[in-house]
Amino acid sequence: MSDRHRNTPNRRAGRPRHVPYAGSAAPREQILDVAALLFVRHGFAATSTRDIADAVGIRQASLYYHFSGKDDILAELLNRSVRPTVDNIAKIEHLVPPETHETALYLLALVDVGTLEAAPHNVGLLSRLPDVTESPVYEQFRDARVELADGYGRLGASIARPAIVDLIGQRRLGEILIQVVDSAINMRSLGESPDGRSSNAVASTCLRICGCDDQQISSAASTATQLFQGFRDESLPG
pLDDT digits (tens, 9 = 90+) for 85-114: 999 999 999 887 767 899 999 999 999 999
The yes-or-no verdict on residue 23 having pLDDT over 50 is yes
* Position 171 in a domain: yes
Of 67, 89, 123, the domain-final residue? 67
* Position 9 in a domain: no
Residues 194 and 118 grouped into a single domain = yes
* Position 167 in a domain: yes
Which spans in the chain are helix H?
A: 27-42, 49-56, 60-66, 70-80, 83-94, 101-118, 130-133, 138-159, 162-168, 170-181, 183-189, 196-209, 214-235
Question: Rounded distance, CA 238 to CA 117, Å?
Answer: 10
What 3-state DSSP class applies to 114? helix
* Position 15 in a domain: no
Residues 60 and 173 grouped into a single domain = no
Residues 81 and 63 grouped into a single domain = no
Residues 51 and 81 grouped into a single domain = no
- How many Cβ atoms from other residues are within 10 Å of residue 180's Cβ? 20
Question: Rounded distance, CA 50 to CA 54, Å?
Answer: 6
Whether pTM > 0.75 for this model: the answer is yes
Least confident of 8-12, 129-133, 186-190: 8-12
The yes-or-no verdict on residue 14 having pLDDT over 90 is no
**Domain with 160 in it:** 77-235
The yes-or-no verdict on residue 232 having pLDDT over 90 is no
The yes-or-no verdict on residue 143 having pLDDT over 90 is yes
Residues 105 and 211 grouped into a single domain = yes
Residues 169 and 60 grouped into a single domain = no
Of 35, 67, 99, the domain-final residue? 67
Tell me how many domains the chain contains.
2
Angle made by CA atoms 34, 187, 227, in degrees to the nearest 5:
90
- How many Cβ atoms from other residues are within 10 Å of residue 209's Cβ? 17
Q: How large is the average pLDDT for residues 35-60?
A: 96
pLDDT value of residue 88:
93
Closest CA relative to residue 33, chosen from 75, 72, 77, 70? 77
Average pLDDT of the chain, as a whole number: 87
* Position 16 in a domain: no
pLDDT value of residue 21:
59
| Chain CA centroid to CA 118, Å | 7
pLDDT value of residue 235:
53
The yes-or-no verdict on residue 117 having pLDDT over 60 is yes
CATH code of the domain in which 57 resides: 1.10.10.60
**Is residue 202 within 8 Å of 112, Cβ to Cβ?**
no
What 3-state DSSP class applies to 17? coil
Question: Rounded distance, CA 31 to CA 55, Å?
Answer: 9
Half-sphere exposure of residue 206, counting CA atoms within 13 Å on the CB side?
37
Phi, psi of 16 (to 5 degrees): -60, 145
Q: How large is the average pLDDT for residues 12-37?
A: 71
Per cent of the chain over pLDDT 70 is 86
* Position 14 in a domain: no
Q: Residue 5 burial (CB < 10 Å; 0-12/13-18/19+)? A: exposed
Residues 108 and 62 grouped into a single domain = no
The yes-or-no verdict on residue 8 having pLDDT over 90 is no
Greater confidence (72 vs 194) lies with: 72
* Position 5 in a domain: no
Residues 189 and 96 grouped into a single domain = yes
Residues 121 and 229 grouped into a single domain = yes
Residues 221 and 107 grouped into a single domain = yes
Q: What are the pLDDT digits (tens) for 163-189?
A: 999 999 999 999 999 999 999 999 988
Residues 96 and 57 grouped into a single domain = no
Greater confidence (159 vs 15) lies with: 159
The yes-or-no verdict on residue 55 having pLDDT over 90 is yes
pLDDT value of residue 99:
73
Residues 51 and 150 grouped into a single domain = no
* Position 88 in a domain: yes
Question: Rounded distance, CA 125 to CA 145, Å?
Answer: 14
